Amino acid sequence: MTKSNEQKFAVIQLSGSQIKVYEGKEYEVNKLKGNKGDTIEIEEVLLIVNGEDIRIGEPYLKDSKVLLEITSQKKDKKVNVVKYKAKSRYRRTYGHRALITRVLVKEIK
């Protein structure tokens, strides 16, 4: 019987940020190259915790990988930006939709 604090997880470096990932869960990250169904092998593993076994990299762990599967490529929700300066009749509005990739963590090796 495993407790919630004894689950297997890893901290990986992916698209410019560090993410704590669990096996079998999905995450949204900045856009990655690939199509739906592609498998990505991440070797930039910073930390792996498996119950009481904790392995820390300096900066990365050797012989450790995290397998990810791309489940979708899409655009995020729109962010509207409004610039306004008082008393000068200056108003600007623009929007932005970030490109994101949804990935499923298949396995932590």
Residue 31 maps to a domain: yes
Strands 45-50 and 17-22: unpaired
In a domain, residue 30? The reply is yes
Cα 48 to Cα 24: distance, rounded to the nearest angstrom: 15
In this prediction, residue 5 carries a pLDDT of 58
Classify residue 68: in a domain, yes or no.
yes
Per-residue pLDDT of the chain (109 residues; tens, 9 = 90+): 445 556 899 999 998 899 999 999 999 999 999 999 999 999 999 999 998 899 999 999 999 999 999 999 999 999 999 999 999 999 999 999 999 999 999 999 8
In-domain check, residue 67: yes
Residues 32-64 as b or e (16 or more Cβ within 10 Å = b): beeeeeeebebebbbbbbeeeeeeeeeeebeeb
Residues pairing with 83 in the sheet: 92
- For the entire predicted model, the pTM comes to 0.80
Q: How many domains does the chain have?
A: 1
